[in-house]
Every structure is written in C-alpha cells, then in structure tokens.
C-alpha cells in the first residue's frame, strides 16, 4: 500500500525524470557541439601531417613530442622546445599582466559606479557597454590611431613642444598592453560592479565608526565581499587574453609570435595540422589547470557571502 | 515609409530577383581579397548575362584547405604558381584546356607554356609580379637594390624596416642573400639563412601585410613587398621607390583555374577566355596594379602603369628574377622551424 510518503517520492522521481527529458535535446546539442569539434582536434593531434596541409590517417605521436621537444635542424640533437616555451611564456605573461592591469583600472571604476545614486548608475553602466557595440578590430585600430608616430598623442606633444621627436609607442610591449587593457576592461568592470552593487555600504560605515582606516575598510570589508566579482572578472579577462590574436599583431607589429600565431602558422604556411592540434589542446590544458588552481585558492581564503 | 511604398519596394525587389533568376546563369569566383576589378566583372556580366559572385580568401593555404574539403560551390579559384601543381595533383581542377581557347593567341609566348602547368591545360594567367625592396628615399639615399636593406639594415633605416610575413618569400630572399639556391637542402646554407634572419630581426620594426597604409603614413621607411603594392605607395608618395635586389628576387604569377566540383563549367570557361582578351586583361591590371601576361594589353593600360618601374622590369634587373617554386615537404618543414625560431 502506498503511503503518502511514497506517493510524494514517486512524484518527485517523475518530476526529476521530466526535467531530464525536457532538457535532453539542449544537453545533447551542447554535448555534440562542444565535444565534437574538440574530439576531432584530439584525433588530429595523433595523426601524420599531409604533404600540403590536412592529415594522413596514420597514427603518430610526433606532434605531441614536438610540442615539448625539438630536434635541432642542424645537429639533430633533441632538446626542450625552447621556441615553444618562449612563445607560451610570452602569452601567459601577457594574459597575467593584462588581468592585473584591468583589475587595477576596473576595481576603482566599479567602486565609483556603485557609489553613484541609483539613477545615474544605469547611465554609467550604459557607458561601459558602449565599446562592445563595435568590432574588436575597429577598437584596436582606434588605439593604433592614437598612439602611432603620426597619431593623436604624438602630434599634440610635438605641437606643444614637449617632445622634439615622436615617441615610439606603436610596436612595443607597452602598445600591446595599452590595447589589451582597453579591450578587456569592460569584462573586468561588469562582474565587479555586479558584486559591488549588492554590497551593503552600511558595513563600510560601521567599519569607519569602529575607527578602521580607509585602507583597512577596503581590505577587510569591501574586497572580501566583492571577491566573487573579482574572480569572475579575472577569469573572463585571463582566458581570452591568453588566446589574443588581433590586438598583439596589430599593435605589436607581429614580430614576436603569440600562442595564437604559432597555432595559426601550423594550419597555414607551416602545414602541420597535427602539431597545431596538439598545441591547441596544450593551451586548453593550461587554461584548465590555471583555472582550477585559481578558483581553489580563491575559495580557500574567501569570506562566505552572507 | 507607408504601406504603399513598402509594397511597391517589395514588388520591385521581387521583380529584380526574378530578373536575376532569368539571367543565363551564375559564376562563383573564389579569389584573393581586393583583387578583382568590378568594372571588368560588370562587363562580363553584361556581355554574357551571367551573375557573378566573388568570395575572398587571404592565403593560398586557406584556399587550398577549403576547396579540398569540397562542397564550396565555387567555380573558379586563383592560386599562385607555386600551388597550381598541388591543385592539379590533388585532382581539384578541371582540365579546361585554355591552350585551345579563342583568346589564347594573346598570351605572351613566355607565359604560354610554364613549368607549373605545361601546355596550359588548366590555368589562365591572371597577374604577374615580383617581390622586392621598397625604400623611402627621403630617409635613405644610398643604393637600395639589395636584400641587405632588410638583412643588413643601413643605420638610417634601423628600427624602421618592415618585413611582409610571407614565410616562403622571406626565406627565399634570405637564401638569395646568402648566395644559395631556393629549396636547397644544404644545411650549411640553411644555417646561414637562420643566423642572418635572427641577426637582422632587431633592426625591424614590424612584420605586417599592411604596407600601403604604413609606408604612406611614415610608420615604415622601408619594407619587403610586392610590386603592385609598391606602385600604389609611390603614387601616394613619389619618394617611395621599388628596387629589384641584385642577389636575385622572386617572380610569381596567379592563375585562374576551374574547379572540378564547379557547377557552372561553361560560364567558368567563358570567363577564362574573357580575361585573355587584351582590353579585359588591362582592365584587371588597372585595378590590382600588377602586370598581366597578355600581349597587346599595354595599349589599354592606364597611363601611370605603362612605364612604371614596378610593372616593367628594367632590362638590367630582368635576368635576376627567378620563379619561386614549392619546396618538398621536408624542406618546407625546415622553413617552418626557421620561421618559428625567427618569430619566437
């Protein structure tokens, strides 16, 4: 005999089943669309390069070996793939510096926005989203127009007589950083602002009442409470910055390869699709490891949101 | 806009679309970007009542990879001479036998039977060019007919040189500079090539394609470049000169082929024949600014191209030109390694 409890349980089971069935089509599509292409990349990384691009269906682990080791072209000795390591490190460094730069600029911006009156906040939010209306390439070219030798900054400084020759900003690491910080700033501001908006500023007042210094209030009250926003923002900036392609090549002059250029080379002029595939997967593994480490660390010392 | 005008507009649009549908047919061209003269296409469309669509690509490798996957819907592609043999070998192109077409008589004799397509069984010449050195003579007045501008940069140009990042072109130039032969497997030469490139790089400011704009704006004072691009730069600034390096420079040509999977083969053949007509060939040149291989086209050429040093190779530089070839995959592999080393 079915007790009321059993009936309730059965209903719950049915409910769970229905939910799964209803979401199954969407899940299936996501599963296929997300893992399908990745599986192809994985399989390709274990094949032999075709003579003129494409792959030969012949197993080989050469691609993976050459991600990490290189055979010297001239004396045939095996050694650590120094060129790849340099390029990987350059991209990782750029992603880290970009994240820090956007954080340094984005945190005060978000604080400023959150402390405005309710009405004007929407206006500020709106202003932050404006850059998203145009294409990334166009925004990058706008930066180029500002910093190039005949650009706005140099022209003004020259006219004012502050400098006698244009300052070479374009094609330097500074140029890349300026461009990256500008392009990725909104991705940092928005999540921090979302956290900051929910912040109860009475807690800040209470801190001051208890004779906390401004710095102490920032460190002990504001920062711990908006930490989820900072984490989300850092992740949103770090990942695309690692694969950045347009900004470094337009502003950096393309002399030094980024990870994305190295991968593109294998699918283009280098005609080594398996190596390109293996490099792509390596990047994904780096991102995954970095994320896990970051989230785990951030979670450990974090104050629980109430 | 009120309903009446909307309805009229829709009606007109419908009429226009059925008008297109009634055209003799269509032709889908797959070509490099900013390379196809709209005027010549218009003339072709009007003459044969064919609707032409053009899709752009940015490199030989992209085009090859895409066409090899199949199902592109393109009828025509325009690969460089280094790639034509691959397209033929991979069975991607149709043997349309342009050598027997009516306008073939116009093709200059030296282009009628090239190594990459003996007897012109598949391809029709689209454009010809060279790869050389461009220098802004306001900045550097010395002799510039050498790859030394790029690989052993004079002091005035240090930090102002750009290199177009076309791997095969750059390594070809470096091999010529150190006195080797293209596609060489001589390790000593290749080592010299790598060392030359790595040592030269600190004097370069960038490795970019966007030379027309950057040379014009003064961001670059010298660059390796294609001749048509150099011509556009000189027209914008007369101080910019194109030079044919004395160590040897690369010659290239792009060629129109019909794809095996083409659905509009007859229209594609009409197009191959059409562009071998002198007036049409000159029209194409007037747009892309490269020379063509059609005799008799010079009298239709724009005035600023007729005697342009970028287009008409001077007699003393002529023997230094060499057709660039596709190297064997193992050599290409070494090229890629040198290139990675250079750009790391």
Q: What is the pLDDT of residues B277-301, one digit of tens each?
A: 999 999 999 999 999 999 999 999 9
Distance from CA of A287 to the nearest CA of B (A): 21
Burial per residue of A257-291, b for 16 or more beta-carbon CB atoms within 10 angstroms, e otherwise: bbbbbbbbbbbbbbbbbbbbbbbbbbbeebbeebe
Q: How many CB pairs under 8 A join A and B?
A: 95
Contact across the interface for B336 and A270, Cβ inside 8 Å: yes
* A219 token code pair: 């460190």
User: What's the average model confidence in pLDDT over B24-48?
Assistant: 94
Tens of pLDDT, residues B159-191: 999 999 999 999 999 999 999 999 999 999 999
B10 band by pLDDT with thresholds 50, 70 and 90:
low
Residue of A nearest to B66 (CA): A54
Q: Which among B313, B284, B309, B310 has a CA at the least distance from the CA of B297?
A: B284
Q: Would you say residue B1 has pLDDT above 70?
A: no
CA distance A32 to B214: 45
Under 8 Å between Cβ of B153 and B161 = yes
Burial per residue of A164-178, b for 16 or more beta-carbon CB atoms within 10 angstroms, e otherwise: eebebbbbbeebbbb
Residue of A nearest to B338 (CA): A73
User: What is this model's ipTM?
Assistant: 0.80
A62: contact with B, CB 8 A cutoff: no
CA distance B79 to B253: 9
Query: Is CATH 1.10.3720.10 the right assignment for the domain spanning A63-70+78-301?
Result: yes
List of domains in chain B: 17-128+252-306 (3.40.190.10), 130-251+314-343 (3.40.190.10)
Question: What 8-state DSSP symbol labels residue A302?
Answer: P
Give the closest of B191, B206, B217 to A74, CB-based: B191
HEC profile of A193-256 = HHHHHHCCHHHHHHHHHCCCCHHHHHHHHHHHHHHHHHHHHHHHHHHHHHCCCHHHHHHHCCCC
Under 8 Å between Cβ of A252 and A173 = yes
A117: contact with B, CB 8 A cutoff: no
In this prediction, residue A301 carries a pLDDT of 53
Residue of A nearest to B192 (CA): A74
Give the closest of B219, B337, B340 to A148, CB-based: B219
User: What's the average model confidence in pLDDT over A68-78?
Assistant: 80
B5 band by pLDDT with thresholds 50, 70 and 90:
low
Contact across the interface for A150 and B341, Cβ inside 8 Å: no
A111: contact with B, CB 8 A cutoff: no
Share of chain B above pLDDT 70, in %: 93
Distance from CA of B228 to the nearest CA of A (A): 22
Burial (CB count within 10 angstroms: exposed 0-12, middle 13-18, buried 19+), residue B111: middle
In this prediction, residue A76 carries a pLDDT of 76
In this prediction, residue B9 carries a pLDDT of 53
Rounded to a whole number of angstroms, the distance between the first and last alpha carbons of chain B is: 58
- Among A149-153, A180-184, B10-14, the range with the most confident prediction by mean pLDDT is A180-184
A interface test, pick of B91, B340, B342 with most A CB neighbours within 10 Å:
B340
B167: contact with A, CB 8 A cutoff: yes
Contact across the interface for B194 and A272, Cβ inside 8 Å: no
Q: Would you say residue A40 has pLDDT above 70?
A: yes
Domains in chain A: boundaries = 63-70+78-301
* A149 token code pair: 């030798």
Tens of pLDDT, residues B87-143: 999 999 999 999 999 999 999 998 999 999 999 999 999 999 999 999 999 999 999
CA distance B170 to B324: 11
Q: Which among B51, B59, B62 has a CA at the least distance from the CA of B16?
A: B51
A145: contact with B, CB 8 A cutoff: no
Give the closest of A53, A74, A253 to B205, CB-based: A253
HEC profile of chain B = CCHHHHHHHHHHHHHHHHHHHHCCEEEEEEEECCCCCHHHHHHHHHHHCEEEEEEEECCHHHHHHHHHHCCCCCCEECCECCCHHHHHHCCCECCCCHHHCHHHHHECHHHCCCCCCHHHCCCEEEEEEEEEEEEECCCCCCCCCCCHHHHCCCHHHCCCEECCCCHHHHHHHHHHHCCCCCCCCCHHHHHHHHHHHHHHHHHEEECCCCHHHHHHHCCCCEEEEEHHHHHHHHHHCCCEEEECCCCCEEEEEEEEEEECCCCCHHHHHHHHHHCCCHHHHHHHHHHHCCECCECCHHHHCCHHHHCCCCCCCCCCCHHHEEECCCCCHHHHHHHHHHHHHHHC
């Amino acid at each position: 005999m079915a007790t009321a409890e059993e009936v309730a349980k059965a209903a719950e089971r049915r409910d769970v089943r229905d939910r799964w069935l209803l979401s199954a089509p969407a899940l299936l599509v996501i599963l296929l669309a997300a893992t399908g292409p990745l599986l192809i990349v994985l399989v390709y990384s274990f094949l032999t390069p075709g003579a003129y691009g494409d792959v030969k269906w012949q197993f080989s682990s050469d691609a993976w070996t050459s991600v990490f080791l290189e055979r010297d072209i001239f004396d045939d000795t095996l050694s650590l793939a120094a060129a790849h390591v340099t390029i990987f490190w350059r991209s990782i460094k750029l992603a880290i510096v970009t994240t820090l730069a956007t954080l340094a600029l984005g945190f005060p911006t978000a604080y400023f926005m959150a402390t405005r009156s309710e009405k004007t906040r929407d206006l500020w939010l709106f202003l932050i989203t404006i850059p998203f209306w145009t294409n990334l390439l166009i925004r990058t070219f706008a930066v180029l127009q500002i910093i190039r030798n005949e650009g706005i900054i140099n022209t003004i400084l020259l006219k004012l007589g502050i400098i006698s020759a244009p300052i070479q900003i374009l094609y330097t690491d500074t140029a890349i950083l300026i461009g990256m910080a500008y392009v990725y700033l909104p991705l940092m501001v928005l999540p921090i602002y979302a956290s900051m908006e929910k912040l109860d500023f009475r807690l800040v007042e209470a801190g001051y009442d208890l004779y906390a210094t401004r710095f102490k209030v920032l460190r002990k009250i504001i920062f711990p409470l908006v930490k989820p926003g900072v984490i989300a923002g850092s992740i949103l900036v770090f990942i695309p910055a690692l694969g950045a392609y347009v900004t470094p090549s337009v502003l950096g002059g393309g002399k030094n390869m980024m990870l994305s250029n190295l991968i593109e080379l294998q699918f283009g002029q280098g005609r080594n699709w398996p190596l390109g595939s293996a490099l792509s997967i390596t990047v994904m593994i780096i991102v995954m490891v970095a994320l896990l480490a970051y989230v785990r660390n951030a979670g450990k010392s974090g104050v629980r949101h109430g | 806009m009120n309903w009446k005008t909307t309805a009229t507009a829709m009606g007109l649009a419908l009429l226009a679309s059925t008008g297109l549908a009634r055209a003799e047919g269509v032709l889908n061209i797959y070509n490099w970007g900013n390379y196809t003269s709209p005027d010549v296409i218009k003339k072709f469309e009007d003459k044969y009542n064919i609707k032409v669509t053009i899709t752009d690509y940015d490199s030989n490798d992209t085009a090859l990879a895409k066409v090899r996957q199949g199902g592109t819907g393109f009828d025509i592609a325009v690969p460089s001479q280094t790639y034509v043999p691959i397209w033929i070998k991979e069975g991607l192109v149709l043997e349309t036998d342009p050598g027997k077409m009516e306008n073939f008589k116009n093709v200059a004799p030296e282009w009628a039977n090239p190594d990459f397509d003996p007897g012109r069984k598949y391809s029709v010449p689209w454009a010809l060019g060279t790869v050389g050195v461009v220098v802004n003579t306001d900045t550097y007045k010395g002799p510039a007919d050498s790859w030394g501008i790029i690989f052993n940069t004079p002091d005035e140009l240090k930090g102002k040189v750009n290199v177009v990042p076309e791997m095969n072109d750059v390594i070809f130039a470096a091999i010529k500079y150190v006195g080797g032969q293209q596609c060489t497997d001589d390790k000593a030469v290749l080592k010299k090539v790598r060392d030359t490139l790595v040592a030269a790089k600190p004097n370069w400011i960038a490795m970019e394609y966007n030379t027309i704009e950057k040379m014009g704006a003064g961001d670059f004072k010298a660059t390796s470049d294609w001749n048509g691009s150099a011509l556009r730069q000189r027209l914008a600034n007369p101080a910019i000169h194109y030079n044919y390096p004395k160590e040897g420079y690369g010659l290239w040509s792009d060629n129109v082929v019909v794809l095996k999977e083409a659905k509009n083969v007859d229209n594609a053949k009409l197009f191959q024949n059409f562009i071998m007509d002198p007036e049409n060939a000159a029209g194409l040149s007037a747009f892309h600014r490269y020379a063509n291989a059609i005799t008799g086209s010079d009298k239709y050429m724009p005035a600023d191209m007729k005697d342009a040093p970028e287009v008409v190779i001077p007699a003393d530089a002529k023997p230094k030109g060499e057709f660039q070839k596709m190297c064997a995959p193992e050599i290409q592999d070494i090229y890629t390694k040198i290139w990675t080393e250079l750009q790391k």
